[in-house]
Amino acid sequence: MERLAKEMDSGFNLRLRRQIAPFTLRRAKIEVTPELPPKVETDLTCPLSDEQRREYRRIAEEGLLGKPGSLSTAMSQGATHVFALLTRLRQACCDVSLLPWRKDDPPSSGKTEALLNKMNELVPSGRKVLVFSQFTSYLDLLRKTLRERFSSSLAMFELTGKTKDRDLPVQGFQDADGAAVMLAALKAGGVGINMHAADYVFLMDPWWNPAAESQAIDRAHRIGRRNTVFVYRVLTIGTVEERVRALQREKRETFEELIGKLDDRSDLASHFESLRELVALREGD
């Protein structure tokens, strides 16, 4: 759809929206819950550490060996390989110690440093923070790092697929006096719970499912919240994360113009001509 829109004149989206308007019903969140406070979303970009850069480049180059230049062909011949490659690259973007062959090595992460820099400001002021990741191993690492940095000055709670009683950590987070952080797996903490006490939300490894991210953000931005919610998507510079995020923004703009709805699936092959274009490390970014 994006390509078609670009090929047509500037009024294409407007005309198409008018044609499909009778068949769509849009109820934006702000329309049904006007009492909600503002929500400020920001992309927080950070550089890879030297160790991350070496691992990312090596994984990308090895993953490209013997693969066809076309991403569409690579997907049709071996989608499993492509998605396994993307998972390894995303792990490297979080921390090198998430990689199976580096699990016993010291942590090295630009993302963790970016989070700690923010937490250095938020903890002394008694803020409550939600930290989401799709990798529970990364949440474990963050728990240890935050505990070492802030000791008893930061109340810590966890919510993952292994949490048997979700109400217990959620209520503890809601009722905590002073600074508190909830480390939550995206799937486990993204639906069915209320954490409107949170002032800040960090998405540590955003990906191409904006619907899941929106559900996670809405744990804080919901009825009962009075103050602005600040949301940070933490992205590593020059990596596949930046490219997928750019695609996500492009699709949001197009779908908002058409029917105000964002598709929750991304056909990578229709937006990136080659696998290299998608995954290669761009040193100049």
CATH for 231: 3.40.50.300
Starting at the earlier edge strand, list the strands of the sheet with 229-236.
39-46, 229-236, 200-203, 128-133, 180-185, 155-159
How much is the pLDDT for 8?
47
With beta carbons less than 8 A apart as the criterion, state whether 208 and 244 touch.
Answer: yes
Would 203 be classed as within a structural domain? yes
How much is the pLDDT for 76?
83
**Lowest-confidence range among 71-80, 96-105, 139-148?**
71-80
| Assigned token pair, 283 | 């040193």
How much is the pLDDT for 30?
44
**Lowest-confidence range among 123-127, 210-214, 219-223, 272-276?**
219-223
Helices (H), the chain: 2-7, 12-20, 29-32, 50-64, 71-94, 110-122, 136-150, 167-175, 186-189, 210-217, 240-258, 275-279
Looking up tokens 């250095």, which residue turns up?
120
Please state, rounded to an integer, the average pLDDT across all residues of the chain.
82
Model confidence at 77: pLDDT above 50? yes
Compute the average pLDDT of residues 208-212.
73
How much is the pLDDT for 32?
41
Please name which of 191, 192, 194 lies closest in space to residue 223, comparing C-alpha atoms.
194
Would 224 be classed as within a structural domain? yes
Compute the average pLDDT of residues 274-279.
91
Would 43 be classed as within a structural domain? yes
Would 130 be classed as within a structural domain? yes
Task: Give me the domain span that covers residue 176.
Answer: 29-47+109-236
Compute the average pLDDT of residues 144-155.
93
Condensed to tens digits (0 to 9), the pLDDT of residues 258-272 reads 444 444 334 677 788
- Model-wide pTM > 0.85: no
How much is the pLDDT for 266?
44
Domain count, the chain: 1
Percent of the chain with pLDDT over 90: 50
Between 219 and 191, the more confident residue is 219
Please name which of 215, 234, 207, 220 lies closest in space to residue 43, comparing C-alpha atoms.
234
Would 267 be classed as within a structural domain? no
How much is the pLDDT for 190?
59
Tell me the three state secondary structure of residue 232. strand
* pLDDT-based confidence at residue 1 (cuts at 50, 70, 90): very low
Tell me the three state secondary structure of residue 124. coil
Would 250 be classed as within a structural domain? no
Would 211 be classed as within a structural domain? yes
Rg, C-alpha atoms of the chain? 20
Would 225 be classed as within a structural domain? yes
Looking up tokens 């709670």, which residue turns up?
157
